[in-house]
Chain A
């Protein structure tokens, strides 16, 4: 057992090493690529003519001098939009990103002060806008220089119409990706960066707008690790969180696969009918199911009713003393909620397995277990590893289970948490119930790092990564 464990860790280590080596190889060619780019840049600086210089000064000016009216006006308009954005929003946003406000508002007397949180958001938005501006500026200069090069080599530069039509043809990817990239910047990058930056402020507790928030550096991370009340709770919850995520993912995945295999067998009659039951459980909203289970296991619920009717004493399945029974009930309820989706996934994948493989295995004398471990499992694992990782992360961050089953308890030895709380529940207790947003954000970053490292490690050692071509 120990040897196997050792082998497992060695294999994981090698896989992770190979993954990073792959990335490292990509960096090997980086100097050459950078050198080529530098040479091109120097050549541009040496050879750029007056029209290109005009474009460097004011976007679109060079294009106008070249007689490319439409393109020149578009660049000029973009320049004007950016200037207007910075005049009305961006400039204040960028400065506010550093100060987070200087005047506290006082609603009693109608004093309009600064809202630090809004300033932080606008600051990030302005940085994104500034990056976009830089990209457009470079594109403008490149375009002017390209036109110059075309004239220098006695070629006619493409007309505006031709360039437009290329956007629907050769350069269609640019058109297709423009809006999604903008959407990702605003709806994805902005909130993530906002959350990360919050971890470096004192936002929370009594310091919430209209009070002014300030930057505090790494103080929140220091609190997590050093506060005598805080650090032990963090490590206790973290340990249980890892155990929970591994166990629940394992149970849900293999129980789903087992159910799919069972219902896939030819001897099972009325497969559609039997598949309906797990799907019904899946279809009921999760929190309704959780509240139902909470009632079932409560002192006034049906389970205790039958226990007391049978002459027994009521059992506190989820009460203050019930650390492990609550944890086991949590695992079981989570399995009830998640197994149907795993079963559906596995059913779909199993329908694509080549039956000849099993036929050949049977001819070679392989039994059902051998067929499962050598054909079914590798195939299903290969196809579902990314899903499995996402299930692990979802379970790691499974907020609802213990919030609904056993919320509202602070257990001795835990700071603002109970012995069934996961990090995400603790995060909720602190950031929503107790307003400690910045500490919550710092814990979020820790959760992100942990789940990323584990997911990455699992992925690089999975067949999906190592044997990418096996089933293609």
Chain B
């Protein structure tokens, strides 16, 4: 016993000493920081580029890669398709070496990576597009960190809702009956009050399409806050204070936002119950093609889907180009009542987004990645992107050259009529409460009158206050 216990004790002590010495004294690897954008291009490296699916399908991605690889062949830099899901999560993949080097996503998706430093602050002033891209676009990618202001992404494409309508479905007498301002453009697509009146008339009538489906005027699901929250913005509401950066100041109920809620309720009343869930969204392309719907609102990038549906129904390219029209959002009445235009009109504000490039913090070749971003946002490549994909360029010079909708949307952005989605991670908490609210509000006109929940603007205001509280709780209760 004299020797056994000490022998066991020595063994255990040796193990403990081993664990303590190595465990406590073991290093943490590299703890020294270094500047990554030295300006010196890395040689013989491969860059993994994550682009969106449309760019890949339409062949833009391969053109971009071919052109870039040819330009940087002398350095041995090769850019390849990262071959990942377009919504891949860099936070999960990047730290373990699986993510892309350069990624193209919307500002809200990209900027959520800033909190934990998954994407890098960029020396954007070195880029060709720096001076030709509007301040509002850069703002979407700017964030304070460590007391300084940094830019984390390079804007490429502005996303904002547009009105899609069928010109051939306008009333025959629109020039005499629906053009009060005499500007030669039908008021129905210029003012929500007229759109409401026209939709109400259609709903009350027995007009049907050639398929026998009942005809409606404006149709749009209110389920998606991305398309609905703009009505609140138009009357003074906002998502987060301090230009969408202060999550403690939630403002969907601020200003006269309840007027926007009232507009939503009125618009829902001239549709049918399908505006409550996502039924309208699912059928919008075909329903506009059959003439069941006269107009809807969606983003510019789905134009080809409407065209495809119309072609399926035998319309020629010329006829479609002439009659499938995309236009700026109609104006809203100051009164917030679609039956009262006596006080004049205000522009519609809508939520939008800015898609752009960011560079992963885990890239081994930051300078080559920056060269790629510079190349991909050059005048030539953005022009080509616009040509092939129909995007709205964030570069003002390209937008001015292209004109048309690109110019209108750029103007909307600079005038604040496109409110860019917040670029802070707390934005993730706004969608479900807002979605629930808009679903509830859109349902209201279809409830029996005794069960109306939002038959006054005050009730809408109160509910919006609750929604803001709900979002606040979701962000801060468990934080």
- The reply on B302 being an interface residue by CB < 8 A is no
Q: Point out the residue from A205, A211, A318 that lies within 8 Å of B478, measured CB to CB.
A: A205
Question: Do residues B277 and A106 form an inter-chain contact, with CB atoms below 8 A?
Answer: no
Does B450 reach chain A (CB closer than 8 Å)? no
State in angstroms the CA–CA spacing of A45 and B1 once bound together: 5
Check: B274 CB closer than 8 A to any chain A CB: yes
B34→A109 contact, CB < 8 A: yes
Return the CB mask of A146-185 against B: 1 if under 8 Å, else 0. Answer: 0000000000000000000000000000000000000000
B246 CB to closest chain A CB (Å) equals 15
Assign chain A's interface to a size class. 35 or more
Would you call B4 and A48 a contact (CB within 8 A)? yes
CB <8 Å contact, A300 and B277: yes
A86 B18 Cβ-Cβ under 8 A: yes
Give the docked Cα–Cα distance between A209 and B96 (Å): 12
When distances are taken between beta carbons in the complex, the residues of chain B under 8 Å from A133 are 15
1/0 per residue, CB under 8 A from B, across A202-222: the answer is 001110111100000000000
B69 interfacial by beta-carbon distance below 8 Å: no
Can you identify 16 A-B contacts, CB atoms within 8 angstroms? Answer: A45-B5, A56-B8, A57-B7, A90-B19, A95-B23, A107-B117, A108-B361, A110-B33, A137-B11, A304-B273, A313-B273, A316-B273, A316-B276, A318-B277, A320-B439, A415-B477
Please state if B120 and A211 are interface contacts (CB–CB under 8 Å): no
- 9 closest A-B pairs by beta carbon, nearest first, are A300-B279, A109-B33, A95-B23, A107-B361, A56-B7, A112-B29, A91-B22, A91-B23, A314-B273
By the criterion of a CB under 8 Å from any partner CB, how many residues of chain B are at the interface? 66
Q: How far is the CA of A298 from the CA of B428 in the complex (A)?
A: 26
Residues from 142 to 198 in B contacting A, C-beta threshold 8 Å = none
Chain B neighbourhood of A110, CB < 8 A:
30, 33-34, 36
Which of A298-338 touch B at CB < 8 Å? 298-301, 304, 313-314, 316, 318-321
A83-B477 in contact (CB<8A): no
When distances are taken between beta carbons in the complex, the residues of chain A under 8 Å from B3 are 48, 50, 53
Report yes or no: B18 in contact with A410, Cβ–Cβ below 8 A: no
A411 engages B22 (CB within 8 Å) = no
Q: In the assembled complex, which residues on chain B have CB atoms less than 8 Å from the CB atom of A58?
A: 11
Residue of A50, A87, A96 with most chain B CB atoms under a 10 A cut-off = A87
When distances are taken between beta carbons in the complex, the residues of chain B under 8 Å from A111 are 30-33
Q: Does A260 contact B (CB under 8 A)?
A: no
Q: Please judge, given known A-B contacts A46-B1, A92-B22, A300-B279, whether A319 and B443 are in contact too, CB under 8 Å.
A: yes
Which residues of B lie under 8 Å from residue A227 when comparing CB positions? Answer: 477-478
Of residues 28 through 82 on chain B, the ones whose CB sits less than 8 Å from some CB of chain A are 28-36
Query: How many residue pairs bridge A and B at CB < 8 Å?
Result: 175
Question: What DSSP secondary structure best describes chain B's contact surface?
Answer: helix
Most chain B CB within a 10 A radius of its CB, from A115, A298, A299, A436: A299
A 25-61 binary contact with B (CB < 8 Å = 1; else 0): 0000000000000000000111010101110111000
What residues of B have a CB within 8 angstroms of the CB of A50 in the complex? 3
Chain A residues contacting B8 (CB-CB under 8 Å) are 56, 141
> Separation in Å of the B83 CB from the closest CB of chain A?
23
Q: Given A108-B361, A208-B116, A320-B443, 4 more contacts at CB 8 Å? A: A92-B22, A316-B443, A320-B436, A408-B432
Specify the chain B residue showing the minimal Cβ separation from A315: B273
Given A299-B279, A304-B273, CB of A409 within 8 Å of CB of B33: no
Complex Cα distance, B244 from A322, in Å, reads 34
Pair B477/A108 contact, Cβ less than 8 Å:
no
Residue ID in chain B nearest A314 by CB atoms: B273
B433 touches A115 (CB 8 A): no
- Min Cβ gap A190→B in Å is 18
Cβ-defined contact, A209 with B95, below 8 A: yes
Closest Cβ of chain A: how far from B270's Cβ, in Å?
15
Instruction: Give Cα distance in the complex from A371 to B433, angstroms.
Output: 55
A92 near B26 with CB under 8 A, answer yes
In the bound complex, residues from chain A placing their C-beta under 8 Å from that of B1 are 45-46, 48
Which residues between 408 and 448 of chain B lie within 8 Å of chain A, taking CB atoms?
A: 425, 428-429, 432-433, 435-436, 439-440, 443, 446-447
Residues of A close to B425: CB separation below 8 A: 206
Asked whether A83 lies within 8 Å of B18 as measured between CB atoms, the reply is: yes
Q: Chain A nearest CB: distance from B295 CB in Å?
A: 18
A230 interfacial by beta-carbon distance below 8 Å: yes
Contact A210 B116 (CB under 8 A): yes
Contacting pair B436 A409 (CB below 8 A) = yes
Please tell me if the beta carbons of B117 and A230 are within 8 angstroms of each other in the complex.
no
B382 to chain A, nearest CB (A): 27
Whether, in the assembled complex, B479 has its beta carbon less than 8 Å from a beta carbon of chain A, the answer is: yes
- B283, CB-defined interface residue at 8 Å: yes
Asked if A120 is at the interface (CB within 8 A of a chain B CB), the reply is no
Contact with B along A420-451 (1 / 0, CB 8 A): 00000000001001101001000000000000
Q: How distant is the Cα of A210 from the Cα of B36 in the complex, in angstroms?
A: 19
